[in-house]
Amino acid sequence: MAETTHSHSESPEEFKKHLGKYYAVFVALICLTAITVGVSYLKLESRGLAIAIALVIASVKAGLVAAVFMHLIDEKKVIYAVLILTALFFLLVLGLPSLTVYEHGPAFQGQ
Amino acid sequence: MSETTTHNGHDHAHAGHHELPFWRKYIFSVDHKVIGIQYAVTALFFLLFGFTLMMIMRWQLAYPGQPLPVIGKILGETAMPGGVMAPEFYNQLGAMHGTIMVFLGVVPLAVGGFGNFVVPLQIGAPDMAFPRLNMASYWVFLPGCVLMISSFFFPGGAAQSGWTSYPPLSDIASVGQTVWCFSMVLIITSSLLGSINFIVTIVQLRAKGLSYWRLPFFVHAQLVTAFLLLLAFPPLEAATVMQIMDRVAGTSFFLPSGLVVSGEQLKVAGGGSPLLWQHLFWFLAHPEVYVLILPAMGIVAEVIANNTRKPLWGYRLLVYSVVFLGFMSFVVWAHHMFMTGMGTTMSTFFQTTTMIISIPSVIILTCFIMSLYGGNIRFTTPMLFATAFLPMFAIGGLTGLPLGLTASDIYLHDTFYVIGHFHYVVAPGTLFALFAGVYYWFPKATGKQMNATLGKIHFWTSFVCINFVFMPMFFQGMAGLSRRLYDPTVYAHGRGVQALNVVISLGAWGLGLSQIPFIVNFFMSLKRGARVAENPWNATTLEWAAPSPPGHGNFLTEPVVYREPYEYSVPGHANDYSPQFVEGS
Amino acid sequence: MDEKVYGWWLPPDISTHGAKIDQLISVLHWFMLLLFVGWGIFFVWCLVKYRAREGHKAIYAPVHAIATKYIEGAVVVVEIFLLFGLSTPVWLAYKNTPPDEKNAAHVRIVGEQFAWNFQYPGKDGKFGKTNESLIGSDNPLGLDPDDPAGKDDIVTVNQLHFPVHKPVYVEVSSKDVIHSFNIPVLRVKQDTIPGQQIPVWFEATQAGHFELACAQLCGLGHYRMRADVLVDTPEDYAKWEAENAPPPQEAPAAAAPDTTPAPEKK
Amino acid sequence: MAEAAAHHESPIPYMVQPHPVTGIPNGKFGIWLFLASEVMLFGALFSSYVLIRTGAPHWPPEGGLTSEIVNVPLGTLNTAVLITSSITMVLSWASCKMGSLPRFKLWMAATIGLASVFLVIKYFEYKHKFDLGHFPSHDNFYAIYFTLTGLHGLHIIGGIIVNTFLLTAGSKMWTTDPEHFTNRVENAGLYWHFVDLVWIFLFPSLYLL
Ligand code: HEA
Ligand code: HEA
Ligand code: CUA
Ligand SMILES: [Cu+2]
């Protein structure tokens, strides 16, 4: 496991190398936030497109935070296993809304 | 008899460490054993309490509209005007019975009690991974329980919308429902803390040599249970938060537009969905029913292996089944909602998954029965309860099939057939397994053995009575009798099966009386039970390597595991058991 | 309502689709009984044969039980059969074949704490519009008096009439909380979800007086939320319809005589 | 007797050092499990939001655009504040890694400060809505807005408490067991980044779309 970047055996000097990565992610996050807000001021015709763009950007940002700040990029297998399981059930929960209305037919008034 | 006059070599575990003050040792203890016992005793108390609620309720069902002698007076005029139960009080008793039995009784006993006490011992750990978190979990749980019980004293009484708390009914119910929500938030939080602790403990703290395939089945069951709690509970917590918002802040997450309650239009924004609650609730509550059964199966496995004096049949198959069961339990929840008007694709999907999930249960049961084959079966008290578990769970499980198939569920949904189904799995099923666990691990926890004669009386009377309680419910359900009915005689088909209600109630009160030998035995054995050494059952798993009761840090020497968990009757051995922790064989 | 027909098992079935459900229920229970008794005999035999006694020893080596594999296999096969051979086809056949709307009798059913309201479209076959803001004690459904389609509608409380041997198409909904529309003898059950109108259909094969029960906990009066189900012969139905049709130009609800006693107020 | 006494203070293994097989210490595993449950919690709320929103004829229900109801500049500012607090959190952990307690304290104080700024801004946003009489009961947009941001706010408060502990009393551990302390900071950081991550989704969903 010694090859992982965050192994405990790293000396302080070696560790310093990572700092640049953190700053870079910080800048990226701020820029992406700016882009999201900027796009929203465009008042896109298609709301679907606006939602898609915003959510994609948010996912990229979340990915950066998780991968770098939470150093998921090189994590141990157990944690991946737990997260994969969680992701699976998370998708299931995200499916609930469509199940709630799915096939309830034209009679469903949704309000 | 004084506790110091023992000659068993293990007692030095008590001595030799500096004494913590009483409140640190027994109240705010961080020791998993003390916390386990706290959980267990609290849970036993609530089981009795929940049962008492039901015994009162059974009066109304057997003799609708007749005043309940003595107790009717005590309960006061709002609950029991003139000694006759008010319908709203009936509904409170029902909702609280369900909630208390599930969330304050069985889960805390099975997971909080047995899980906490036994798991670290069985894996050879000195304690849980996070002792203080463990303490916090109990001390979040207890206020939750107290709050739940206190709701009876709020204006309008306790929650009365069923343990399922379906909105809009629960949204417009009296303030007791808000209290229910808040205490559920506490109880859920406690469970989450506990489940994190279990997973970390089992993954990280296993003794040397204790690979996953050497874990006792009970530990596997607890591990799967912990994952169910961890991932299924948060959606209910979210739903409960939204229900609190609906009730306190006037939002309408679960309230559609245009509701007219008692002739008045409800003044809310509307636009919510009552089915959303049901999905979130059952997303938890189906896994939850496996939370009730898996630890019970774990206990049964331990007791059966120990008392048949042979290895469990199909140990690996059992483990695969339990993992599969845990996984599948997340994708069957909507079988509780077949009658909410879902379409054919969705219902076909969910009835298929429901049938699939019954297969691992069949396998588990088969493994248990096959474990009896070729054994040398000792009918100790724990074994009696564990043996009874098998056919009782079989009845409960088999009657799940007609409910899981959409076409038959049209007729059976929300009838007493459902009540019969799940009580067979939770009462003579889980509850009996828990009794088995109490009798089995009591010597480990206290160093005293429970009285076998009282135990046998407890078993046989309970076994007979409980079948009189739940078997007739299938016939009532078949006759079409709805559940949660304050007065079943309102309906002609209800009058047809009213005689059975009398039988059931007599059975329930008989079952209540049958618990007296247990309660007596429990307290008497604490004081006067026969002293036992480390391993009174000649068992093989690690908890029997520790002194009885185990001292701080559990083991005198760090345990090392040399073999599979259930090496009983190994050929060529003088003893009929070869413990995991003894070297050489 | 002949009390004697209600016993400890399924009540009589008076629907055209119910026979399949009953068949499924009985096949299932025979299957369950077989499994239970089969395993039960083996189980008891094991307990007796392998009880601990002097000189008896447990067998360490795992038995190679081919039989259990076969039994488990058989259970799987039977379950597949139950699932795809019986239950799913019955369910699909029932749910996917609503009656031809033109030939069916129509009823709108609205549950409330704690009564059932029934709206019949009357001669014109059209339901009058309803609006929840118009709901009042004399207008339980909130019928819009300005809608011509509603002029001939019949509204009843706790009394459901429909003709025998004719498909009935109902739409259930609720004013307040979730109820469940349940007529045991017709093998129908459907939760009524406020905010939704859910269609249900059935056809009775026998005239008579039956019961509608509420199957979902809906509050303190849940137990007494029952309605009479009157399955009429075509003649009786026509007569009832004629007698109850609101006289022209009058508010429809006022004309609906309610023969059942109002649910006793608590 | 001797062995019992020797065993008495038996510490729990892998509190500090990683487990040889899983490669992580207990605390880190625990915090990730906790975050897994948080994912399910916010996931359920988020999917409820999607359901209610897709079921509504207009969104927000009172008409117009979401961005006209909420204060987008303040929301953007708050996003920036939270992102910044995330990097200061990383830096405080990095300082521990590099052996400097004073710098840890500096960055940790900054994190707590930024978190507090977040709450203050949130307070003004809430207050503005309350002043307009827009409570959660106003309509479903407000219901969801207050529930989600409120719950998120509670998580921020929780983070502030934990971080304050690490900054003050908790930092005594630095002298006795720096590695353990560093692990604690890392775990607090994992939680804090998660709270940030939730906000990253809440911000566009509640303010912009
Ligand atoms: C511990 C709890 C527990 C367990 C294990 C189960 C197990 C199962 N349950 Fe149950 N269920 C509940 C608790 C439980 N349930 C509760 C509490 C409710 C009601 C909630 C409410 O509405 O309030 C409920 C309701 C419920 C419903 C909804 C009914 C309705 O409301 O209409 C359904 C429908 O599918 C269902 C199905 C099943 C199935 C298919 C199984 C299967 O997993 C069962 C599989 C087991 C077997 C198939 C047995 C195998 C038998 C043998 C191999 C024979 C061996 C013989 C001998 C030993 C003699 N259950
Ligand atoms: C784990 C769950 C569980 C358990 C164990 C039980 C156990 C029992 N239940 Fe219940 N029940 C539910 C969960 C449970 N129930 C739920 C969820 C509902 C649905 C609620 C709703 O509709 O919303 C329900 C509903 C329900 C009804 C239907 C009410 C209605 O629909 O109107 C009935 C009716 O008879 C009933 C009866 C009983 C009986 C007689 C027992 C008996 O088996 C009880 C046996 C109890 C004991 C034997 C106690 C043992 C404890 C001790 C002896 C303590 C000793 C103490 C010390 C040593 C300190 N239950
Ligand atoms: Cu209406 Cu029960
Ligand atoms: Cu279920």
Decide whether any atom of ligand 2 lies within 6 Å of the B318 Cβ. Answer: no
Residue D48 identity (one-letter amino acid): S
C132 and C236, same domain (yes or no): yes
For B32, B446, C199, the CA distances from D5, given in Å and listed in that order, are 19, 21, 74
Answer whether residue C62 is part of any domain.
yes
Cβ within 8 Å, pair A90-D40: yes
Name the average pLDDT for chain B: 91
- Domain count along chain C: 2
- Using CA atoms, how far apart are residues B272 and B251, in angstroms rounded to an integer? 9
- Using CA atoms, how far apart are residues B581 and B560, in angstroms rounded to an integer? 6
C195 and C130, same domain (yes or no): yes
Q: pLDDT tens, D23-40? A: 899 999 999 999 999 999
- Using CA atoms, how far apart are residues B287 and B329, in angstroms rounded to an integer? 5
Q: Which of C212, C220, C241 is nearest to C122 (CA)?
A: C241
Range with the largest mean pLDDT of B82-86, C149-153, C228-232: C228-232
**Biggest alpha carbon–alpha carbon distance for chain D:** 78
Q: Please give the residue range of the domain that contains residue C113.
A: 101-244
Whether A58 contacts A36, CB under 8 Å: yes
Decide whether any atom of ligand 3 lies within 6 Å of the C216 Cβ. Answer: yes
| Buried/exposed code over B283-306 (b: 16+ C-beta within 10 A; e: otherwise) | bbbbbbbbbbbbbbbbbbbbbbbb
Tokens describing residue C140: 């339980």
Which ligand sits closest to the CA of B418?
1
Whether C63 contacts B367, CB under 8 Å: no
C165 and C121, same domain (yes or no): yes
Has residue C19 got a pLDDT over 50? yes
Whether B97 contacts B54, CB under 8 Å: yes
Tokens describing residue D148: 């989600």
- Using CA atoms, how far apart are residues C239 and C32, in angstroms rounded to an integer? 48
Cβ within 8 Å, pair A47-D209: yes
Q: What are chain D's domains? A: 2-208 (1.20.120.80)
Question: pLDDT confidence of A16, banded at 50, 70, 90?
Answer: confident
Which ligand sits closest to the CA of B391?
1
Give the contacts of A93 (CB within 8 A, at least 6 positions apart).
B235, B283, D40, D43, D44, D47
- Mapping DSSP to helix (H, G, I), strand (E, B) and coil, where does residue A12 land? helix
φ, ψ (nearest 5 deg) of residue C207: -80, 155
Which is it for the CA torsion B496, B501, B506, B510, positive or negative?
A: positive
Partner residue facing D36 (CB), from B231, B235, B241: B231
Answer whether residue C65 is part of any domain.
yes
Cβ within 8 Å, pair A111-C195: yes
Whether B100 contacts B92, CB under 8 Å: no
**Whether the complex's predicted ipTM surpasses the cut of 0.95:** no
- Mapping DSSP to helix (H, G, I), strand (E, B) and coil, where does residue B77 land? coil
Q: pLDDT tens, B211-261? A: 999 999 999 999 999 999 999 999 999 999 999 999 999 999 999 988 888
Answer whether residue C34 is part of any domain.
yes
Q: Which of B449, B582, B428, B430 is nearest to B514 (CA)?
A: B428
Has residue C258 got a pLDDT over 70? no
| Buried/exposed code over B36-65 (b: 16+ C-beta within 10 A; e: otherwise) | bbbbbebbbebbebbbebbbbbbbbbbebe
Has residue B378 got a pLDDT over 70? yes
- Mapping DSSP to helix (H, G, I), strand (E, B) and coil, where does residue B491 land? coil
Has residue B7 got a pLDDT over 60? no
Whether B106 contacts B43, CB under 8 Å: yes
Has residue B526 got a pLDDT over 60? yes
My answer on whether omega of the bond before C114 falls inside 30° of 0, hence cis, is yes
A90 to chain C, minimum CA–CA distance in Å? 27
- DSSP secondary structure string for all residues of chain C: --GGG--SSPPP--BSSHHHHHHHHHHHHHHHHHHHHHHHHHHHHHHHHTB--TT-----SPP--HHHHHHHHHHHHHHHIIIIIIIHHHHHHHHT-PPPTTTSEEEEEEEETTEEEEEE-TTTT-PPPB-GGG-BTTBTT-B-TT-GGGTT-EEEESEEEEETTSEEEEEEEESSS-EEEEEGGGTEEEEEPTTB-EEEEEEBSS-EEEEEEE-S--STTGGG--EEEEEE-HHHHHHHHHHHSPPTTS-TGGG----SPPPPP-
- Mapping DSSP to helix (H, G, I), strand (E, B) and coil, where does residue B264 land? strand
C207 and C82, same domain (yes or no): no
A96 to chain B, minimum CA–CA distance in Å? 7
Residue B334 identity (one-letter amino acid): A
Question: Residues of C with CB below 8 A from B162's CB?
Answer: 217
- Using CA atoms, how far apart are residues C119 and C141, in angstroms rounded to an integer? 8
- Mapping DSSP to helix (H, G, I), strand (E, B) and coil, where does residue C211 land? strand
Half-sphere exposure of B455 (CA within 13 A, CB side): 23
C217 and C114, same domain (yes or no): yes
Question: Which stretches of chain D are DSSP H helices?
Answer: 2-8, 26-55, 66-69, 72-97, 101-131, 140-167, 173-176, 178-203
Q: Which residue of chain D is at minimal alpha-carbon distance from A31?
A: D80
Name the average pLDDT for chain C: 85
D55 interfacial to chain A (CB closer than 8 Å): yes
- Using CA atoms, how far apart are residues B485 and B493, in angstroms rounded to an integer? 13
C70 and C201, same domain (yes or no): no
C106 and C180, same domain (yes or no): yes
Strand order in the sheet with C208-214: C159-163, C227-232, C208-214, C179-183, C188-192
Ligand 3 atom showing the smallest separation from residue C223 Cα: 2
CATH code for position C207: 2.60.40.420
CA geometry: angle B465, B467, B469, nearest 5 deg: 75
Answer whether residue C260 is part of any domain.
no
Neighbours of C225 (CB within 10 A): 25
Q: Which of C39, C136, C104 is nearest to B260 (CA)?
A: C136
φ, ψ (nearest 5 deg) of residue D56: -85, 145
- Using CA atoms, how far apart are residues B200 and B129, in angstroms rounded to an integer? 6
Interface test with A, best of B202, B231, B283 (most A CBs within 10 A): B231
C38 and C154, same domain (yes or no): no
**Which DSSP letter does residue A58 get?**
H
B350 to chain A, minimum CA–CA distance in Å? 11
C122 and C220, same domain (yes or no): yes
My answer on whether omega of the bond before B168 falls inside 30° of 0, hence cis, is yes
Whether B549 contacts B444, CB under 8 Å: yes
Please indicate whether residue A99 or residue B155 has the higher confidence score (pLDDT). B155
pLDDT for B229 equals 95
Element (H, E) at C170: strand C167-174
Q: What are chain B's domains? A: 25-256+269-545 (1.20.210.10)
Answer whether residue C263 is part of any domain.
no
Answer whether residue C12 is part of any domain.
no
C95-100's contacts with Cβ under 8 Å and 24+ in sequence apart are C95/B343, C95/B344, C96/B344, C98/C169, C98/C199, C98/C201, C99/C167, C99/C168, C99/C169, C99/C201, C99/C203, C100/C167
Which of C36, C180, C217 most suits a substitution to test ligand 1, by most atoms within 8 Å of the C-beta? C36
Has residue B101 got a pLDDT over 60? yes
* Torsion angle of the four alpha carbons D172, D178, D184, D185, in this order, in degrees rounded to the nearest 10: 90
Q: pLDDT tens, B474-517? A: 999 999 999 999 999 999 999 999 999 999 999 999 999 999 99
Cβ within 8 Å, pair A99-B334: yes
**Biggest alpha carbon–alpha carbon distance for chain A:** 67
Write the residue with the smallest CA distance to atom 1 of ligand 3: C179
Residue C261 identity (one-letter amino acid): P
Q: pLDDT tens, B147-193? A: 999 999 998 889 999 999 999 999 999 999 999 999 999 999 999 99
Whether B437 contacts B44, CB under 8 Å: no
- Using CA atoms, how far apart are residues B417 and B411, in angstroms rounded to an integer? 10
Answer whether residue C3 is part of any domain.
no
Q: pLDDT tens, D132-186? A: 888 998 889 999 999 999 999 999 999 999 999 999 998 899 998 889 999 999 9
Cβ within 8 Å, pair A99-B227: no
Element (H, E) at B472: helix B452-478
Whether B168 contacts C192, CB under 8 Å: no
**Which DSSP letter does residue C181 get?**
E
CA B382 to chain centre: 17
The residue to which tokens 């007692």 are assigned? B11
Partner residue facing B231 (CB), from D27, D37, D45: D37
Has residue C149 got a pLDDT over 70? yes
- Using CA atoms, how far apart are residues D109 and C266, in angstroms rounded to an integer? 63
Cβ within 8 Å, pair D80-A30: yes
| CA-only gyration radius of chain A, Å | 20
Q: Which of B318, B445, B456, B435 is nearest to B380 (CA)?
A: B456
C152 and C67, same domain (yes or no): no
For B46, B47, B99, B389, the CA distances from B50, given in Å and listed in that order, are 6, 5, 9, 21
Note which residues in 35-94 of chain A have CB less than 8 A from chain D: 36-37, 40, 43, 47, 50-51, 54-55, 57-58, 61-62, 65-66, 69-70, 76-79, 82-83, 85-87, 89-90, 93-94
The residue to which tokens 């921020």 are assigned? D156
pLDDT for C143 equals 83
Question: pLDDT confidence of B44, banded at 50, 70, 90?
Answer: very high
Q: Which residue of chain C is at minimal alpha-carbon distance from B362?
A: C72
Q: Which residue of chain B is at minimal alpha-carbon distance from C48?
A: B377
Q: pLDDT tens, C91-118? A: 888 888 888 888 889 999 999 988 999 9
The residue to which tokens 């447990």 are assigned? C58
- Mapping DSSP to helix (H, G, I), strand (E, B) and coil, where does residue A4 land? coil
Q: pLDDT tens, C160-191? A: 999 999 999 999 999 999 999 999 999 999 99
C115 and C66, same domain (yes or no): no
Assign residue B423 a region (left: φ > 0; alpha: ψ between -120 and 50; beta: otherwise). alpha
Decide whether any atom of ligand 1 lies within 6 Å of the B127 Cβ. Answer: no
Name the average pLDDT for chain D: 89
Portion of chain C with pLDDT greater than 90, in percent: 47
From first CA to last CA, the distance across chain C in angstroms is 26
**Which DSSP letter does residue B574 get?**
S
**Which DSSP letter does residue C11 get?**
P
Residue C183 identity (one-letter amino acid): I
C188 and C232, same domain (yes or no): yes
Q: Which of A18, A15, A8 is nearest to D178 (CA)?
A: A8
